[in-house]
Structure 1
Amino acid sequence: MTETRPDLIRWALIAAAIVALIAAYALLPVQDWAEAFRRWLGGLGAAGWVAFIVIYAVATLCLVPGSLLTIAGGLAFGLWAFPLVLVGATLGAGISFLAGRYLVRDRVADRIDRNDRLRAIDGAIADDGWKVVGLLRLSPAIPFSLQNWALGATRVAFWPYLLATFFGIMPGTLLYVWIASLGAGGGDGGPLRWVFFAVGIAATLAVTVLVGRKARAKLAEKGLSEA
C-alpha cells in the first residue's frame, strides 16, 4: 500500500492538471491570446525570429508544452517556423538537460545506486544514449519538456543527446508547423498526420523494447533475476 499511494496521488495530480487545461481552453480566450502572440511576433519582423527562439527555449526550460509555441510559430511565420522551432527547442532541451544533470542527478544518484534495476536501466541508457534519445523524441509517451529534465538525470552524454534531439524532433515539428501554416485555409494535415502518429507509436514500442532489453542484459550480467 505504501508503494501504490504515491502513484495514485501522482496520477490524480496529472488528471487534475489535464482537467484544468481543458477547462482553461474552454473558459479562457486561449485562441485570442494565440492570435495576439502571432500578431506580435509578425510585427517584430526579423527580430521576431530571435525573440521566438529565446521564448521557445525559456518555455521549454519551464516545462511549457512545446506544441503550443510550435503552432503559434507556424501561424506567425508559416513554414519558416520549422528551423526556428528546431533551434529554439534544441537550445531549450540543452539548457534543461544541464539543469537536470546538475540540479537533479545528484539527488537521484544514491537511489539509482541502491536499486539494481534502476542502475541497469541507467546503464542501458548510457550505452545506447543517442538511440534512446532519438526514439524518445519520436515517441509521444513522455512530454518533450519532461524528457529533457529526466534525461539530464541519466548518464547519457550531452552531445549525443543534443544531436539526437535535433534530428529526432524534426518529424513532429514539421507536422505541427505544417498544420499551423494551413490553419488559415482550414486544413487538418490529411493522411500525413496519421503517418506521423503511426511513427510515434512505433517509436514508443521501440524505445520500450530497446531499454528493456539492455536493462535485462545488464541484470543478467550481474546474475540478477527479473523477479
Structure 2
Amino acid sequence: MPKSADVCSGDKTSRSGSAVKAMILVGIVAAGILAFRFTPLSEYLKPERLEAFFASISIFWWAPLVYIGIYVGGTLVAAPGLLLTILGGLTFGTVNGTIYVFIGANLGANLTFGLARKLGRDYVARKIKGRIDTLDRLIRNQGLLRVLQLRLIPIVPFNLLNYAFGLSGVRYIHYLLGTLFGMIPGIFVYVYAAAALAQLYFSGSGVQNESAVTAARQAALTNAGISMGLLIVVSLAPYFYRKISKHSSGVEEE
C-alpha cells in the first residue's frame, strides 16, 4: 500500500513538474511576442527600420554577426522569418546573404527546438496519450521525411514549426538533418529574389549611358524572373514528391 501511494505521489509530482515547465515555455514565448509586437520594441521590427539599420552597418566586419544574432533572437520570439531572410538578401547579396541566413536560421531553429523539447514535450506527451499517439509515432518514425517536406513548403510558418517539432516526438537527429537540408532551397530562393529586386531597384543608378542602364535593368529583370521560377519549383516540390511516392507504392503492390 505505501508503495502504491509513493507511485501516485511521484506521478503527481511528475505531472506537476511538466505542467510548470510548459507554463514557463508559454511564458517565455508570450513575453517575447508581446515585447516585440505591443511595446516600443516593435518599432525595431518594422521592415524599413531593419533595412535602414542593416544598410548602415553593412560596411563593418561585425555586421554579419549582428545580423545572425538578430535572426536567432527573432526566431526565438517567433518574429517573421521571411522578413529577416529577405533583409539578408537586400543587405548582403545572394552568396553572403544565403550563408548568413543559413547560419542564423539553423542556430535559431535548434535553440527553439531544444527549448520546446526541454520545457514542453513531457506535458504534451501526457496530454496526447491515447488520443493522437498514432500521429506522434508517425512523426517519430518518419521524422526526417516529414521535417524535409514541411521545410520545403514556403507557406508553413518557419518559427512556429520549430516549436511544433520540439513538442512532437520527432528525433533530434531527424529534425537537425531535415532542417539543415530542407531550408537550403527556400533560403537561397528568397535571398536570391531579394538581391535581384534590389538589383532591379538600383539598376542604372549613377550610370549616364542609356544603353548601359537598359542592359543593367534587363539583367536585373532576368534575375528576378529566375528567382520567381525557383520559388515556384521549391513550393511545388513536396506535391510532386508525394505524387511520385504514391505512384511508386502502387507499382510495388502490383
- Count of residue correspondences: 180
Q: Secondary structure at the match of 1:63?
A: coil
Give the aligned residue type for 2:58. G
CA distance in 2, matches of 1:190, 1:81: 19
Matched, 1:170 2:178: no
- Asked whether the 8 Å contact 2:54–2:67 carries over to 1, the reply is no
1:206: Cα distance to partner?
5.3
- 1:18 aligns with none
- Asked whether the 8 Å contact 2:112–2:162 carries over to 1, the reply is yes
- TM-score w.r.t. the length of structure 1 is 0.71
1:204: Cα distance to partner?
5.6
- Using a 3 Å threshold, how does the CA distance of structure 1 residues 182 and 140 change in structure 2: closer, same or farther? closer
Matched, 1:157 2:192: no
Give the aligned residue type for 1:152. G
181, 184, 200: which is aligned to 2:235? 200
Moved more, 127-136 or 185-194: 185-194
Matched, 1:103 2:119: yes
Q: Secondary structure at the match of 1:114?
A: coil
- 2:109 aligns with 93
1:153: Cα distance to partner?
0.8
- 2:19 aligns with none
165, 170, 183: which is aligned to 2:197? 183
1:108: Cα distance to partner?
1.4
- 1:3 aligns with none
- 1:8 aligns with none
Gaps of 5+ in 1: 1-20, 22-28, 211-227
- 2:136 aligns with 122
Larger Rg: 2
Moved more, 54-63 or 187-196: 187-196
Q: Deviations over 1:71-105 (max 9, x none)?
A: 11111111211011111100000011011112221
- Asked whether the 8 Å contact 1:141–1:204 carries over to 2, the reply is no
CA distance in 1, matches of 2:50, 2:177: 30
- 1:60 aligns with 75
- Asked whether the 8 Å contact 1:136–1:207 carries over to 2, the reply is no
CA distance in 1, matches of 2:62, 2:123: 40
Structure 1: which 4+ aligned runs deviate by more than 4 Å? 204-210
- Asked whether the 8 Å contact 1:38–1:75 carries over to 2, the reply is no
Q: Secondary structure at the match of 1:104?
A: helix
Gaps of 5+ in 2: 1-36, 38-44, 201-219, 246-254
Calculate percent identity across the aligned residue pairs. Answer: 35
Q: Secondary structure at the match of 2:58?
A: helix
- Using a 3 Å threshold, how does the CA distance of structure 1 residues 51 and 178 change in structure 2: closer, same or farther? same
- Asked whether the 8 Å contact 1:78–1:178 carries over to 2, the reply is yes
- 2:40 aligns with none
- 1:42 aligns with 58
Q: Deviations over 1:94-150 (max 9, x none)?
A: 0110111122212211221130xx111110111111111111100134200010000
- 1:33 aligns with 49
Give the aligned residue type for 1:199. V
- Using a 3 Å threshold, how does the CA distance of structure 1 residues 30 and 101 change in structure 2: closer, same or farther? closer
76, 80, 87: which is aligned to 1:72? 87
Give the aligned residue type for 1:107. Y
1:192: Cα distance to partner?
4.0
